[in-house]
Amino acid sequence: MLGTVKNLGQGQEPRGADFIYGHKNDPTVWNAGKCITGEATEKELKPDHDLGISTKLNCTNTVRRSEDQHRSFGVPTIRTDVPFKVWRSVADYTNYGDEPEAVDLMYPATAQELGITEADFQKMRTREEIRTLFEKIGHSFKAGKFIAVYNRAKEISDSKDDSTTVRAFLQSMNSFRGLD
């Protein structure tokens, strides 16, 4: 028994070298792959017959006044009519329109785990701020190259004053890669 797996009393017989664990793929069974790809029928792709119509008893979307003919009923999903709260409770489930998209949750930004958001990359910064930031992460520039890269970054970000974004500076650095 020493050095072997503990027998949990499930009575497994010794298996041959050609034994494969798992379940055989059955194309007739609905599986995860079909959930992702869909494989819906033409009828399933058509909109429901009661789409946009209230099916609740005594609650219809009929209007009493002619000026309400094109009125939207209900409450919007993203609440722009409610004032935004800076400090929210964990139990506040109201969507104020500041929540990330599904793609951002599935594929977060590279520096997201460091607390750096895309807004930090898009913030306009002065020449000195950009130089200091990039020197702190290990980039050193000769005076002429920094000026050329910075001026190109200002063009990319379409800056009217002497400022640019970190994202534009990174793009500019890539275009000057290989030059001294």
Q: Is residue 120 packed enough to be buried (19+ CB in 10 Å), middle (13-18) or exposed (0-12)?
A: middle
3-state per-residue secondary structure call for 81-111: CCCCCCCCCCCCCCCCCCCCCHHHHHCCCCC
How high is the pLDDT of residue 11?
67
Q: Give the pLDDT of residue 33.
A: 77
**Tens digits of pLDDT across the chain (180 residues):** 678 877 776 766 777 888 777 777 777 777 777 777 777 788 888 888 877 777 777 777 677 888 887 777 677 778 778 887 788 888 888 888 777 778 878 888 777 778 888 888 889 999 999 999 999 988 888 878 899 999 999 999 988 898 999 999 999 998 887 665
The pLDDT value recorded for residue 13 is 74
The whole-number pLDDT of residue 1 equals 64
For residue 61, the model assigns a pLDDT of 66
Domains defined along the chain, listed by start: 118-175 (1.10.238)
Token pair listed for 108: 């977060």
Spatial distance between the Cα atoms of 118 and 101, rounded to a whole number of angstroms: 13
pLDDT for 179 equals 66
Q: What is the pLDDT of residue 180?
A: 59
SS3 139: coil
Quote the Cα angle for 28-31-34, to 5°. Answer: 85
What are the structure tokens assigned to 175, written together? 């275009």
